[in-house]
Structure 1
Amino acid sequence: MHHVHHDLKVYGGIKLFAGTGSPELAQKIADYLGQPVSGREVIEFPNENLFVKLNGSVRGQDVYVIQTTSSPVHRNLMELLIMIQTLRLDSAARITAVVPYLCYGRSDKKDQPRVPITARLVADMLEVAGADRYMTLDPHAGQVQGFFSIPGDVLTASHLLVGHINRNMRQDMKDPVVVSVDLGFAKKGRNYAADMDMPIAFIEKRRHGNDANAEALTLIGDVKDRDVIIVDDEVDTGGSIAQAVNVVKNNGARNVYLAFVHAILSRNGAERLASLPIKHIITTDSAPLTPEKWKFLEGRITVLSVSELLGEVIKRAHEGRSVGEMFNE
């Protein structure tokens, strides 16, 4: 009798659904959980309106919708919202939005007059659509968690990157030092440095205007004759990273490695990274890398999958077990 409490589930079984944003990642999560990705149709009408139809009932089930909101951002976001609402109307017991990369994460504050806080709007939209919970990885700003009124698991994939570097690359590095790409990332950068037991240096950067281009200025710390690991949460066009690489190289760095979670690589971002004097890139599959981007970086990039991390958190959320235990928290 004493085993009974393990079998008491508040919800029915796990049901996994996926949008079209990251089908490979969704399949890997499904494989980890030993569950199929449930059938659904996503149709785009000639007028660009989207239509979702589920192929089976989800009444009373514990549903997880896996959809990253990288490019095409608005298509992926609307697909996620419509899918959540479809599940809500079909009486799912609980709906969790699993969003490996959450769009609009940079629009998190009014840092000038007459601007929106779009990250808050996205959080509201997910709730209004009918999400009961959410999961995401490495949002650009921690305060995004405060924009949601529903509970969520805000995870980091940094330990995947750190583990890979410690296991496979560390022994070949000379006096390695972690470099935070700007002061905004300094706190998280310090966590990387602590987890790898390396010193840290910072790049001080000043932004001008609203475009994605910023001006990198000074390096705080020492990189001379040392191998450098430049860390960041996401790389978009690659402008900041390119400047960071040039700054550390000008300051006498030996080999330069890049480690970041979200490989957005908009426009010619992949091409830009490929042209830099870097030894290797370590990133994740939170946003899919298209074959065109892959072509530029092949042989110099390692893509670690976040599928086991997300799969394990889905499993624990379903069973009502602690997620913090996974990270000894």
Structure 2
Amino acid sequence: MPQLQEPKLIAGNANMPLANAIARRMSMHRGKQVGLVDARVERFNDGEIFVEVFENVRGEDMFILQSTSNPANDNLMELLIMADALRRSSAARVTAVLPYFGYARQDRRTKARTPITAKLVANMLVGTGIERVLTMDLHAAQIQGFFDIPVDNLYASPIFALDIQTTFKKRMDELAIVSPDVGGVARARELAKRINSPLAIVDKRREKPGEIAEMTVIGNVKDKTCLIVDDICDTAGTLCKAAEVLIENGAKEVHSYITHGVLSGPAVERVTNSVMKSLVVTDSIAPTDAVKKAKNIRIVPTAPVFAQAILNIWSGTSVSSLFEADTLSPIYDGTYAAE
């Protein structure tokens, strides 16, 4: 179906650098200027959030760019209020683009009398009139089923695969992909298949949240360059401990590829002082100054894939095509293309 209106972007305050980068990439693909809709998202003295859109959005295909990262509650409320403002302004369709979906770790009841907050957030998003969600590396794939609207879940593994094939191109046969826990095996296996590397697992046992009692390596990592793969790095305690265990088991060196660098509390200091040679994260969460200055933390961009995904949604073409490296390489302009 031909599109009469252009896709329009509006951004909250969670990650303005990424929002601007997505707009620039879309401008390049479209051959015309795609900017962020002129709006203000601000707070009153009592902390209430106020949104005002200064452009006409009637009948427009709107995309709200907003990660629900720290401060999660403020950023979530910004998203909900922006969606309400657009619906009340007669936007034709509202799509929420959440590079990082907060509360995703609360996706099940782990004990009695606890909430499933990921489902609650899904209900809130749908209740505001959002008709589609675009996100990256949900903590659990089944969260897509919490929504009664389409959810497009992009994967960081194709981006990581391109980066790995460039960074480690002369020693690909030395690599081993490592999952830091049993729950992340499917994610690690996906990347291992893409770069044709063996898979290992670090089995951890927790006495209570935030504490790790014991770690065991399943698989052979001796004389391997280990790449730990996970979706979220919060305080980095598990990650740094896993790196130490791998070195103790004979690994030559350890690097990590994490989609969402939450990196709260002592995380940056832990990573900086750890045995890890490097930690690679995406810009799904706006990096702090400490993250930018850390000598062994590197950031890879997600704007190219999000820009193309938004254009594919707008034009009614496939989003799943972006899961393949052959499709992704041209989008990244050869930045991570293997030589």
Structure 1 length-normalised TM: 0.94
CA distance in 2: counterparts of 1:174 and 1:248, whole angstroms: 18
Kept in 1, the 8 Å contact 2:305–2:322? The answer is: no
Q: Partner amino acid for 2:228? A: I
What residue is the counterpart of 1:33 in the other structure? Answer: 26
C-alpha displacement of 1:215: 3.2
Matched residue type, 2:257: A
Runs (4+) of structure 1 exceeding 4 A deviation are none
Q: Distance in 2 between matches of 1:326 and 1:192?
A: 15
| Amino acid in the other structure paired with 2:271 | L
Task: Report 1:257-268 matches (<5 A).
Answer: 257-268=255-266
Q: Which residue of 1 aligns with 2:16?
A: 23
Match for 1:310 among 306, 328, 331?
Answer: 306
Kept in 2, the 8 Å contact 1:119–1:144? The answer is yes
Q: Deviations over 1:255-307 (max 9, x none)?
A: 11111111110111111111101112222100011112322x23x23211110
Q: Which of 294, 317, 329 is 1:321 aligned to?
A: 317
Partners of 1:96 and 1:171 lie apart in 2 by 42
TM normalised by structure 2 equals 0.91
What amino acid is the match of 1:76?
Answer: N
Shift of 1:327: 3.0
Q: Which amino acid aligns with 1:33?
A: M
Distance 1:88 1:208 in 2: 47
How is 1:83-98 mapped onto 2 (pairs within 5 angstroms)? Answer: 83-98=82-97
- Cα RMSD after superposing both structures: 1.4
CA separation in 1, counterparts of 2:286 and 2:300? 12
Q: CA deviation at 1:79?
A: 0.5
Show the 5 A alignment for 1:81-160: 81-160=80-159
Rounded Cα–Cα distance in structure 1 between residues aligned with 2:120 and 2:273: 37
Deviation of 1:172 (Å): 4.0
Alpha-carbon distance in 1 for matches of 2:155, 2:117: 22
After TM superposition, give the deviation of residue 173 of structure 1 in Å: 5.7
Distance 2:267 2:292 in 1: 11
Give secondary structure in 2 for the equivalent of 1:283. strand
- Of the structure 1 ranges 165-174 and 267-276, higher mean CA displacement relative to structure 2 is found in 165-174
TM-superposed CA distance for 1:214, in Å, is 3.1
* Number of aligned residues: 319
Q: Quote the sequence identity (%).
A: 37
Residues 14-35 of structure 1 deviation map (CA, whole Å, 9 limit, x = unaligned): 1100000000000000001111
Tell me which residue corresponds to 1:289: 287
Tell me, in whole angstroms, the C-alpha distance in 1 between the residues paired with 2:26 and 2:61. 14
Match of 1:227 in 2: 225
- Measured in 2, the distance between the counterparts of 1:57 and 1:252 equals 61
Counterpart of 1:244, as a letter, is: A
Deviations 1:218-253 (A, max 9, x none): 110111121111111110000110111111011111
* Correspondence for 1:177: 176
CA contact (8 A) 1:216 1:240 kept: no
Structure 1: runs of 5+ lacking an equivalent = none
